Structure 1
Amino acid sequence: MTRLTIQSRIITYMIVTTVALIAVFTFMQVNNQLKTLTQQNILRAKFGAMLVKNALENTMAEASNAKQQPEALKETLTGLKQSGIIEDVEIMDKDAGIIVSTGKYTGNTALNAKEQHILKSLFEAKTQAQQYQSKIDKQKKIILQYVPLIQAVCLAPDAAATYQEKNITYIAKITYKLGNINNALKSVYLPCIFIAIMIVLANIFLTIMLSKTIIGPLHILNNASKEIAAGKLELRINLATEDEIEEVANTFNDMTVALVNMKARAENANPLTKLPGNNVIHEEIEKRLNDKRKFVVVYSDLDNFKAFNDKYGIGAGDKAIKLTAQIMQDSLKLGSADDFMGHEGGDDFVLLTTPEAAKPITDYIISEFDKNIRALYNKDDLERGYIVSKSREGETKQFPIMTLSLAGVSNISRPLNSYGEITNICASVKKVAKKTPGSVFVLDTMPEAH
């Protein structure tokens, strides 16, 4: 399955939005134009009906007799249609027949039942308002205007100028078209084209802006990530967008710095315990000194380790070192999240904690070490309580079961200024701790350290 890029998604959304906006605008314009055309045609129908009524009534009055009226009316309708005043007219008499039409009806064509009912109601209307009717056929999109045609009848031939009775002779049904979609589209064609062009240009502008402000920076971040993955950890990116993207870029740079530090720590880590080595230990102590924080440095050293390693072998010696490392790491749960532990090498470890957590942590380390270290000895040596091995001077001697000497250095009661100063004090405190039988923790502020 092809993966869509953010750029292709934005372009797709813009196209869909553009089409939707153009469609909605066109629909609204066409709908409004249809309403306007319909209103115009209704007005046209009313005024047209008046003109047709006058023209047809004049024709009826000029005809010499009733037989000549249909033909005369036909000629008048033809002229009106040619002039564009009407589109279609049917003239109906009281017998519900069409006598004249501009359409398909010829002769005395009969009306359907519905039209006969309308015609009857018009001839029987008692008021002038009832004699005029307008109907809109939405399906056929036409306006039907029913207009009475009145024939003047003289009651006294010698008094024609003094009195006339108005009498409805015919009903004219005039047909006008409503506004249609084609006319509406023609009317809104240019505005729609103009708006469509404006919408397209606006969306193109937005797409370009989004590409520069979002997609461009994302490409930079993506390419930088690939270079970082390839090992180019010195790479930094600068995106001055003054928004969340700039925050992401700054976080990316912070992450890169953290990766550099992690790499440095990994390269300096002890290969056996994977704990940070001397360089990182130095950095952690200096950081606490610079921050002027109160802390305790705990140095750990295994007593009688060389004799154990000589008798049981390097593999057993590594187990003793890893056991000590694990116990000291577990002890950090009694301190704070900022506590630290490193491995200088061999059986020497360094732990950094707060003054208030120093005692609980060292008590835990001593207790767990004394309890678990015995599992590395064989039964005979445990029963004797010592092993026989050679000293550093080459003399055969008895060496007790291993114990742990913890030497603590703190800036609680005196200032500490440097890493070197701390290591020198620690060397003195460690001598005191190693002279004490069993596992012990000695702090340089205690009387025993002096």
Structure 2
Amino acid sequence: MRFDTAPVTDHDICVDGYFVEPGKTEATDTYKFWGIRCAVNDSHAILEPRRIDDMRVPGVADPDEVITASATYRSSALIPELSLWPFDDPGAMSYRVAQDTGEVSPPYPISGIEGSPAQDADPTAADVERDAAERRARLVAVQRTLDRRVLALAGGTLSLIGLLAAVVWLATGRVLRPVEAISGEMADITEHDLSRRVPVPRARNEIAELATTVNATLDRLETAIQDNRRFVADASHELRSPIAALRAELEIATAHPGLTDWPSVVDAALADTHRLQHLATDLLLLARLDHPTGHDDTVDLAELVREASARRTRHALTVESPEHPVPVSGRRALLGRLLGNLLDNAERHATTTVTVRLGTENDHAVLEVLDDGPGIPEADRERVFDRFTRLDDARTRDTGGTGLGLPIARRIATNHAGTLHAEGGPGARLVARLPLKPHDQRLYPDVVFR
């Protein structure tokens, strides 16, 4: 076993010889040493070379007696038991003795270590103590070196952690600075000032996407609040007019009861009451449509068209519908209201004829309601779906409309994952498209109207 890295090592080499007395055996009887010489550590043994014929061994009378000589070598090392805790006292440490045969002794305190000086001459007590002190110093030096390295490693680790913490803090502060700006701006935005927007960082990262999304949300919120305010103002105006007219008629009748045609007053009051009831019903329906629920029913639009058309007698009504079912997902009452509003609008503005067409195209049901009236100008084809919108040439309050029929119809179509648009034609042409039921999309061929 090699002890190249051990702090303290011992090396012993000895040369000895012996002979067996006549009449005795080496295995069972005593044999006599003729001498032993040993060298320890850095000392050396002087063995004088001489010729075999000239060698004389005391106690041997017969020159033919057999003399046996041998040499032995032994090495060991003192192994300190080191501690990773740098604040322990190195003078209180322990050590073990490791032999070159692989044997290791139990731990001994370092204070009890013994010296083993070179044996060129008989060592004195001072030599032994000086060697023991040197051995203790070597073992302590190893522990102190380990302590310095542990402290250096701990200090370097702490310094690295501090550096990383500072870098993370600075980087986090720089990254989150736009978030703080967004948060501050959001805190200053109120319902009375929705025109402000959060700053968008120049860097194209997640925070910039967040700011863009927040601004888009604010845009939608501002639009929704403006629409709500406009709707409230329009609703107030629409409700105020019939209420004011009803109140005026009743006040005049009450002021001149003898001159009042009471049946006419009652009829007028009843008509205004009906108008108020229709308006309130439409407003409540719009409020419910702003919070749609799921649509799990299957509705046959072909059957719905036939049922709604059978109740219409004001104008000549033409229905073009396939014989097979046209199933869509939705609520029957709402889809019936959509078709009814479209028919009410067509009858209100038609001259003589109203046409209803139902077909399928690209996995969608296509419902068209046409009239032969003045039509809708191209510039107003989107505006007619705004709440309380009336076109001067086509619609007036005297026709009985509330200005909510088409907005309600579009909202119903939107809640059913469909669309409703006004398209060009000889008169007004309103087209609703609703997705067919998935498992019924390919059961029947498309029916397209051009």
Shorter-chain TM-score category? 0.3 to 0.5
Q: Larger relative CO (CA 8 A, sep 6+): 1 or 2?
A: 1
If the length of structure 1 is used for normalisation, what is the TM-score?
0.36
